[in-house]
């Protein structure tokens, strides 16, 4: 009798453990799995126990009630959780800029964050497109209903995308900034040293926060823009090895948001120089000559348009990737490139012959995220999570803030007029 009771207890105990584990593996949470396992195990224990007939009959009723309760728990809580666990993940479709593609599509930690929300991104569902190409695609395509999001450039470009989509009847659910990515200079180290000796650059002090982010020098952005007007020469700066007229490596504004932002930075300073009658001076000016900045106007003044065209002719264009900008720098036509901090950081990490220079005034790429569906909004919240932000730092999105003056954002119409893209 005792051996039968012990066997019954052993069997019921094993059932409790096994059923609980199986249910957990099938996707049921621990509380429900344990509750169902206990009720089934106890009912089996009662049904297999050897008691007197009267108690046995009473125990049978208890067992039947427990068995019914376990079936109820399984139906109400267990089966829906199992179905949810075996449900195919929702595929997200969208456009993302080239520098953020690997972060979103390839990174394993990001895949895990998506999997927790039953979402999935594949190489086929995400299209790698620069911000300007995104605008072109949105303008030309008629079937956009499958699109869940675009992860684009700064605020003016996002404004343009929003206008295009809403004109086609597509509602933008969210339009929020994700990463802060200011424009900085990547400079040949030898050239930077010479420019510092000639007081064009200033050395960053060891206790300055910028030093922790890889910056060795700073430059007055107003003086930098004034130099790019072309009235001065490299030789005057001590850089006798550069024979070309003053220029800077930037990406093509017709293809890249980085190019649009570079032109916006220079164009805003030049526009305010025109407003204050400081343009085309024989000597370089500095930030003390321009204490306030007006945003770019909707229609670019003809004189500013001509100056921008001349700058494009004497500047080197590169694709908006760190490798292409690095190659342009190594070719030696110009000592510097104006690009995102995230791109610049990759260049100096891989190439010790270059250094970072902080601008006194800059514009910031906010990496705007526009969602058009619930799935798109879910992805936005994942991107904004501390876990995702931590991963993104390895891709250069850990730029310092508050160390420079951020010039006012122009409208989409203003940057379109200045940079002449989408023409």
Which of 67-76, 130-139, 406-415 comes out lowest in average pLDDT?
67-76
**Is residue 58 very low, low, confident or very high in pLDDT (cuts 50, 70, 90)?**
very low
Measuring CA to CA, which residue among 353, 345, 349, 362 is closest to residue 329?
Answer: 353
Pick the more confident residue, 220 or 42. 220
Look at residue 143 in the predicted model and tell me its pLDDT: 67
Q: How far is CA 96 from CA 283, 368, 370, in A?
A: 43, 10, 11
Instruction: Give me the half-sphere count of Cα atoms (radius 13 Å) on the Cβ side of residue 115.
Output: 9
Phi and psi at residue 96, to the nearest 5°: -145, 145
**CA proximity to 317, closest of 309, 326, 325, 308:** 325
Sign of torsion over alpha carbons 149, 155, 158, 163: positive
Residue 137 confidence class, pLDDT cut points 50, 70, 90 = confident
Q: What is the 8-class DSSP label of residue 51?
A: -
pLDDT in tens, 142-176: 667 788 999 998 899 999 999 988 888 888 999 99
Q: Is the pLDDT of residue 33 over 90?
A: no
pLDDT band at 67 (very low <50, low <70, confident <90, very high): low
Q: For the chain, how many helices (H) and strands (E)?
A: 17, 17
**Per-range mean pLDDT, top range of 64-78, 103-117, 187-201:** 187-201
Which is more confident, 34 or 308?
Answer: 308
Q: How does pLDDT run across 265-316, given as a tens digit for each residue? A: 999 999 999 999 999 888 899 999 998 999 999 999 999 999 999 999 888 7
Question: 35-49, 197-211, 246-260: which range is least confident on average?
Answer: 35-49
pLDDT reported for residue 308? 94
- The residue ranking higher by pLDDT, 395 or 309, is 309
pLDDT at 12 over 90: no
What average pLDDT does this structure show over 4-23?
69
All residues at 6 or more sequence positions from 358 whose CB lies less than 8 Å from its CB, including other chains? 184, 185, 204, 210, 215, 217, 218, 219, 403, 404
pLDDT tens-digit map of 367-393: 999 999 999 999 999 999 999 999 998
pLDDT at 55: 45
Q: What does the pLDDT read at residue 64?
A: 64
Tell me what the mean pLDDT of segment 338-352 comes to.
91
Whether the per-residue pLDDT at 93 is higher than 50: the answer is yes
Q: Encode pLDDT of 213-244 as tens digits.
A: 999 999 999 999 999 998 889 999 999 988 88
| pLDDT above 70 coverage of the chain, percent | 85
CATH of the structural domain 182-364+402-419, one choice from 3.40.720, 3.40.1350, 3.90.1280, 3.40.190: 3.40.190
* pLDDT at position 195: 97
Q: 151 pairs with which residues across the strands? A: 96, 369
pLDDT reported for residue 330: 87
3-state secondary structure of 300: coil
Pick 232 or 37 by higher pLDDT: 232
3-state secondary structure (DSSP) of residue 104 = helix
Q: Give the pLDDT score at 83.
A: 56
Q: What is the pLDDT of residues 356-372, one digit of tens each?
A: 999 999 999 999 999 99
Give the model's pLDDT for residue 303: 96
pLDDT at 245: 86
Residue 54: per-residue pLDDT: 36
Give the residue extent of every domain in the chain.
2-86, 182-364+402-419
Distance CA 323, CA 346 (A): 9
User: What confidence score (pLDDT) does residue 354 get?
Assistant: 95
The fraction of the chain above a pLDDT of 90, given in percent, is: 47
Residue with tokens 């006194």: 360
C-alpha angle with apex 20: 70 to 46, nearest 5 degrees? 50
Instruction: Report the distance separating Cα 215 and Cα 359, nearest Å.
Output: 10
- DSSP one-letter code for 213: G
Cα 129 to Cα 125: distance, rounded to the nearest angstrom: 13
**What is the value of pTM for the model shown?**
0.78
Please tell me the distance from the alpha carbon of residue 419 to that of residue 416, in angstroms, as a whole number: 5
Residue 25 confidence (pLDDT): 75
């Amino acid at each position: 009798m005792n051996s039968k009771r012990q066997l019954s207890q052993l069997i019921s105990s094993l059932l409790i453990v096994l059923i609980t584990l199986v249910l957990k593996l099938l996707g049921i949470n621990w509380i429900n799995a344990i509750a169902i396992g206990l009720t089934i195990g106890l009912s089996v224990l009662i049904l297999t126990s050897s008691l007197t007939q009267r108690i046995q009959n009473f125990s049978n009723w208890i067992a039947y009630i427990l068995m019914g309760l376990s079936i109820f728990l399984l139906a109400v809580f267990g089966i829906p959780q199992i179905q949810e666990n075996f449900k195919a993940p929702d595929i997200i479709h969208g456009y993302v800029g080239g520098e953020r593609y690997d972060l979103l599509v390839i990174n394993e930690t990001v895949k895990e964050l998506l999997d927790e929300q039953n979402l999935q991104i594949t190489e086929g569902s995400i299209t790698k497109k620069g911000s300007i190409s995104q605008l072109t695609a949105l303008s030309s395509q008629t079937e956009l209903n499958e699109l869940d999001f675009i992860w684009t450039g700064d605020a003016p470009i996002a404004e343009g995308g929003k206008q295009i989509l809403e004109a086609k009847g597509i509602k933008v659910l969210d339009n929020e900034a994700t990463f802060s990515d200011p424009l900085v200079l990547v400079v040949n180290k030898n050239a930077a040293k010479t420019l510092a000796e000639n007081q064009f650059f200033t050395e960053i002090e060891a206790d300055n926060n910028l030093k922790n982010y890889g910056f060795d020098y700073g430059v007055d952005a107003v003086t930098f823009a004034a130099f790019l007007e072309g009235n001065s020469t490299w030789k005057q700066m001590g850089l006798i090895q550069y024979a070309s007229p003053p220029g800077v490596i930037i990406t093509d504004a017709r293809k890249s948001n980085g190019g649009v932002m570079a032109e916006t930075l220079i164009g805003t300073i030049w526009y305010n120089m025109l407003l204050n009658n400081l343009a085309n001076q024989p000597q370089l000016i500095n930030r003390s000559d321009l204490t306030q900045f007006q945003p770019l106007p909707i229609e670019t003044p003809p004189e500013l348009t001509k100056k921008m065209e001349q700058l494009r002719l004497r500047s080197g264009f590169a694709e908006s990737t760190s490798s292409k900008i690095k190659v342009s720098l190594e070719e030696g036509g110009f000592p510097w490139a104006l690009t995102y901090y995230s791109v610049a950081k990759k260049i100096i990490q891989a190439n010790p012959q270059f250094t970072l220079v902080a601008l006194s005034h800059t514009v910031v790429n906010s990496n705007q995220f526009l969602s058009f569906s619930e799935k798109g909004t879910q992805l936005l919240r994942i991107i904004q999570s501390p876990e995702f932000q931590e991963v993104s730092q390895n891709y250069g999105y850990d730029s310092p803030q508050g160390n420079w003056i951020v010039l006012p954002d122009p409208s989409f119409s203003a940057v379109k007029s200045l940079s002449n893209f989408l023409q």
